[in-house]
Each structure stands twice: as C-alpha cells, then as structure tokens.
Amino acid sequence: MYSSIVRLQNTFGFFTTVAFAVACIIAASDLFSARTPSVGVLKTTNVQVVRGRPHYYSSKKEEYAIIRFSLDADLSSLFTWNTKQVFVYVTAEWPSAGGSGSGQNATNQAVIWDSIITSPSADHLANLGPVAMRKLRRSAAGKSIDPSRGRLSINNQRPKYQITHPSSKVANQEDVVLRLHYNVQPWVGILTWNPDEDFLKWKTLKGNLSRKFALPGLKKKDEGKTGTRS
C-alpha cells in the first residue's frame, strides 16, 4: 500500500493541486486591482483613399483608406503582476449602406493599427530584432512591472493596415469613427477586453471614440503632389 509508486503518485497529485490553487488565486487577484485607463486624444490627422491591388498577383483594383491618427492614452493601470502583455488596437467603424449607426452595432469594423506592449517579465518572448530587444530590455532594467509603458503618446501615426470593404468601395464613406480598444493577456487566468460597463474595480475606457469623419473621394493622380494635410 505504501509502495514508492503510490508515494510518487501522491506527491505529484499534491503538486498539481497546489499549483492549480495558486494559479486560481493569481487569476482572481486581477479582480482586486483597479483598472482606470483614460484616453486624452484620439483623432484623425490625415485621411486618404487610394486605389490598389490586394496583393502583387491580383488584377483586382480596390479602394483603400489610409487613416493617419493621433493618440494620447494612459493605460498604465492595466499593468499588474499578472499582466503578460497588453494588446492595444484602433479600429475604424462605419455603418453599412442601409445600416444602423456606428458604435457597438457598427456593421463594418477593421483594425487600422495595433501594438503589443509586453510586461518587462515577458520581454524575452517579444518578436524583435536583437537591437530593438536590447533597447526594450534596458528600458525596464531591474523592473518586473513597468506601468510607464502604458502611457501612449502617438502623433500623426501611419496606419499599419490599409482597409477596404468586400465591395471594394470605401471612398466618400460618411460617419466613420475610430475607436481604441485593449486586450489584457494574463500570465494565467481570464483574458479581458475594455468593458462596456463598469465592472467592480474595472472602469470603462472613456473618450475612446473619435469624432465622426468622412472618407474623402478617390485621390486623383495629379493631386498626389499637393496632398492635403490637416
């Protein structure tokens, strides 16, 4: 009955139980840390619509919106000991031709820019070149949590993704808004997004919506040089 196999089994069983309990406590600790992110500025700086092809071998012509924007946000309260990374993304949203207004019911939604902000303890996992990696690690030397990384101040940022629509038409689209979202990836536990309503100590992300704007008409070739900037 008390053979070494049984003892080994019991030890392993106890180890997994304890590990699971500790993981649950760590996951639950997220609920007790306040999340009070805020957005200062989210606005477009320059909007263009150009014609292009989805990829090199395609002969299909589509219209692409290039939306430059400025963003000023403080997400530092999202960085706790259980935060592995925060995925920040900006979407452009617009209603369908016959559709409802923008917002949660927006029928067209596309990410134009995103960014992965790793916690210093997860820096080694980031997909970066050696120079950028060294710089990133030095920026938080000796710290395992670095809330200052959550302070974003981005000016006239080029979008990472040029967006289009399955109909290939986006020019002159009205009622477009930009919206800032975040997704907190824990070391263990539940993945969380910016809540629609206040939930315990987690506040909503206020001011994460830009003013409505319209996409301009297709940029003519001869207009290219004078390109408007506002």
Residue 136 as a binder of other proteins (CB under 8 A): the answer is no
Report CA Rg, the chain.
23
The DSSP-derived string for 27-73 is HHHGGGS-B--EEEEEEEEEEEEEEE-SSTT----EEEEEEEEEEEE
Residue 46 as a binder of other proteins (CB under 8 A): the answer is no
Stretch that binds other proteins, among 29-37, 45-53, 178-186, 205-213 (CB under 8 A): 178-186
Query: What b/e sequence results for 121-137 when a residue is b if at least 16 CB atoms lie within 10 Å of its CB, and e otherwise?
Result: bbbeeeebeeeeeeebe
One of 193, 198, 200, 212 touching other proteins (CB under 8 A): 193
211 close to 47: Cβ distance less than 8 angstroms: no
Residue 3 as a binder of other proteins (CB under 8 A): the answer is yes
Q: Is 139 or 155 the residue whose CB approaches other proteins more closely? A: 139
- Give the whole-angstrom CA distance, residue 64 versus residue 159: 12
Size of the site for other proteins (CB under 8 A): 41
For residue 223, the SS3 value is helix
- Give the whole-angstrom CA distance, residue 102 versus residue 90: 15
Stretch that binds other proteins, among 32-40, 45-53, 107-115, 129-137 (CB under 8 A): 107-115
Q: Is 127 or 226 the residue whose CB approaches other proteins more closely? A: 127
List of residues contacting other proteins (CB under 8 A)? 1, 3, 5-6, 9, 23, 54, 84-85, 87, 89, 91, 96, 104-105, 107-111, 114, 116, 118, 122, 125-127, 161, 163, 165-166, 181, 183, 185-191, 193
